[in-house]
Amino acid sequence: MEAERGAFAYKCIELAKDAMKRKPVEGKRYLTKTNSINQLVNNWMLDNDPVQQFINDCVEYAPGEQENALDVVQAYKNWSYDNDYKPLGKNNFKNKMIKKGFNYHYERKYDSATKKRLPRKYYFTNMMLNENANPEGRINPVKNIYGFNK
């Protein structure tokens, strides 16, 4: 009996999925997604998406503005540690932010005096960190001894 419980639940879920895919026929009942089910699914997805929670807490959409990518990553890491989440790595975080609609770009300037290229600076565009964000702290030291992304 115990061993069959999982298979039974799986079969029920598969049948429900199939029923929801069927086209409605006049006069017959069929399964639909109600507003309450959609709301519960959205709440569940938000509870399981720390990057979206970080955006909701610490980021403001600001067309034409740009924020230093290092500051955004450090603010995300600090927020993650404060909220008991394991932070994503830089590349995974960057890719999630791009999927959420933020642009990511870099610029590399040329120093005419020394005739050398300066280090690249990376930015997230169309956003600003709000007062809840903390780009300095445990992860990002106040003093940047290496001289990059200043």
pLDDT digits (tens, 9 = 90+) for 43-64: 888 888 999 999 999 999 989 8
Q: Residues 86-91: what's their mean pLDDT?
A: 92
Q: In this structure, which long-range contacts are made by residues 79-86, counting pairs with CB atoms below 8 Å and at least 24 apart in sequence?
A: 79/54, 79/133, 79/134, 80/50, 80/54, 81/138, 81/139, 83/50, 83/53, 85/50
pTM: predicted TM-score of the whole model, two decimal places: 0.67
- Which residue type sits at 100? K
Q: Is the pLDDT of residue 143 over 50?
A: no
Of residues 85, 93, 59, 82, the one with CA closest to residue 137: 82
pLDDT digits (tens, 9 = 90+) for 90-127: 999 999 999 999 999 999 888 888 888 988 899 999 99
pLDDT attached to residue 25:
67
